[in-house]
Amino acid sequence: MVTLLIVYHTQTGRTKAMAEAAAKGAASIEEVIVVLKRAYDATLEDLINCSGLLIGSPEYFGYMAGAVKDLFDRTYEAARGRREIFRKPYAVFVSAGNDGMGALAAIERICLGYQFKKVLEPVISRGEVGAEAISACEEMGKTIAAGCEAAIY
């Protein structure tokens, strides 16, 4: 079975809506188990055991949420050099009050350190999360799940 881990942080509910849309898309692919977790609740074992990863963060002061950074901080040393982590496919979604680029850049830089493999372009929703962003997140979840299930990543 393929497991897609979707980790996110939210305070307003915007990023949660994006995460739930991605989970809905991923769940539409047979043989895929979706694990949806808030960043504070995610663990190294979640990162090791998933087949692919979606990371969702609001943008705070031009940066990712502290909870997402905390996940990276808690798991990085133990994850370094592990073959289960190497080239794990990932993508990012951001709920932005500004342009989202600072949060995205910070997440992508850290993912380079983990040696994850970026497989999809990010979804960035500026302001209220509308139907277009929800649809894009659903498609993102479906695409990465299908890619993991087909072993193309």
CATH number for 30: 3.40.50.360
Which residue range(s) make up the domain with 83?
2-149
The pTM assigned to this predicted structure is: 0.97
How many structural domains comprise the chain? 1
> What pLDDT is recorded for position 112?
96
Distances (CA, A) of 64 to 7, 45, 108: 13, 22, 10
pLDDT by 10s per residue, the chain, length 153 = 899 999 999 999 999 999 999 999 999 999 999 999 999 999 999 999 999 999 999 999 999 999 999 999 999 999 998 999 999 999 999 999 999 999 999 999 999 999 999 999 999 999 999 999 999 999 999 999 999 999 999
